[in-house]
Amino acid sequence: MPVRTRFAPSPTGRLHLGHALAAKVARDLAVAHGGEFLLRFEDIDGPRVRDEFYQGILDDLEWLGLHWSGEPLRQTCRSGAYAESLANLKSMGMVYPCFCTRREIESIAAAPQGPEGPVYPGTCRQLSETGRRERIDAGAAHSWRLDSANAARVAPGITFTDQRFGTIAAAPGLLGDVVLARKDIGTAYHLAVVVDDAFQEITHVTRGEDLLSSTHVHRLLQELLGLPAPVYHHHPLVLDENGRRLAKRCDSLAIASMRESGMTPDDVWAALDARLSVFPQ
């Protein structure tokens, strides 16, 4: 299979230097192997998505000289595929409904800590099947969480390959029982990204090293759903002057702002190289 990579921004703001690096790493890997570089809009975060950001992202990529193959995929057009995958996980007993609110979860002082913060302590996993059904029948809002311990028993010994870090043994419980389907949209990042990478036949997933911990969950989901396992490449992050990861609120480092200030694409790439050299990873 030819190499296929993707860049998957969220249209909740304009691109910044960190996005430029992520897109370039994916594009360069595809070009080096005579493959394809695809674009996907991860636009399931409805309240923050704005129409103008779709075109703004396309404009930024075109201006930087990062050209993609085919039509960009939108996750908002993929709800049926996510529902089907979630139904498969339900039939296998790999997920359970969670009725906890965000405030309730944040108030649990004894929640274990993971690489991305507090890990859900499994409160709703302890509910009986009867109790769950009664709440659902009563119309209680609920998300669906991965039963990571049960899933790990069904799919033991999983590994994944990263081009920077080598072969890594997946730890399915690293992030705990993550949400696979939110209360409002019927899916969530971990499920959607795995289903879409398989749909687009992505052979190499390139993304920032802050998402390395998520890959443990993604490999588990691929195994459960019978999806192919891509090769991964978790690249260094672009940091701000304080050594922190860039955020979309860093307007001065937005590609559009840099362009409006008179910078050329070459200037942007030079600025990116300078930041990577100041904050080596």
What pLDDT score was predicted for residue 102? 82
Query: Is residue 90 a contact partner of residue 217, using CB atoms and an 8 Å limit?
Result: no
Please give the C-alpha separations between residue 172 and each of 19, 62, 125, in angstroms, as whole numbers.
28, 38, 16
Average pLDDT for 171-189: 94
What pLDDT score was predicted for residue 247? 62
The model's pLDDT over 115-130, given as tens digits with 9 standing for 90+, comes to 666 789 889 999 999 9
d(CA 4, CA 35): 6
What pLDDT score was predicted for residue 119? 85
The model's pLDDT over 85-112, given as tens digits with 9 standing for 90+, comes to 999 999 999 999 999 988 887 776 555 6
Helix 17-32 with 51-64: angle, nearest 10 deg: 60
Averaged pLDDT of the chain: 91
Q: Name the residue with tokens 């200030």.
A: 261
Among 158-167, 184-193, 267-276, name the one with the lowest average pLDDT: 267-276
d(CA 219, CA 228): 9
Average pLDDT for 167-173: 95
What pLDDT score was predicted for residue 207? 96
d(CA 23, CA 100): 36
What pLDDT score was predicted for residue 113? 61
What pLDDT score was predicted for residue 32? 96
- Annotate 5-51 with DSSP letters as a single string: EEE---SSS--BHHHHHHHHHHHHHHHHTT-EEEEEE----GGG--H
- Annotate 106-145 with DSSP letters as a single string: HT-TTPPEETTEEPP--GGGGS-HHHHHHHHHTT---EEE
Does residue 278 carry a pLDDT above 50?
no
Of the pLDDT bands very low, low, confident and very high (cuts 50, 70, 90), residue 178 is: very high
279 φ/ψ angles, rounded to the nearest 5 degrees: -115, 70
Average pLDDT for 201-227: 97
Q: Which domains does the chain have, with CATH numbers?
A: 4-77+236-278 (3.40.50.620), 80-181 (3.90.800.10)
- Annotate 182-250 with DSSP letters as a single string: -TTTS--HHHHHHHHHHHTT-SEEEEEGGGHHHHHHHHHHHHHHT----EEEEEPPPB-TTS-B--TT-
The model's pLDDT over 16-54, given as tens digits with 9 standing for 90+, comes to 999 999 999 999 999 999 999 999 999 998 788 999 999
What pLDDT score was predicted for residue 238? 86
For residue 151, give the H/E element and its range.
helix 148-154
What pLDDT score was predicted for residue 182? 95
d(CA 86, CA 191): 8
Look up residue 254 and give its DSSP letter. Answer: B
Among 98-102, 106-110, 172-176, 218-222, the range of highest mean pLDDT = 218-222
What pLDDT score was predicted for residue 243? 67
What pLDDT score was predicted for residue 276? 77
Tokens of 135: 């709440």
Tokens of 116: 């991305």
d(CA 261, CA 34): 35
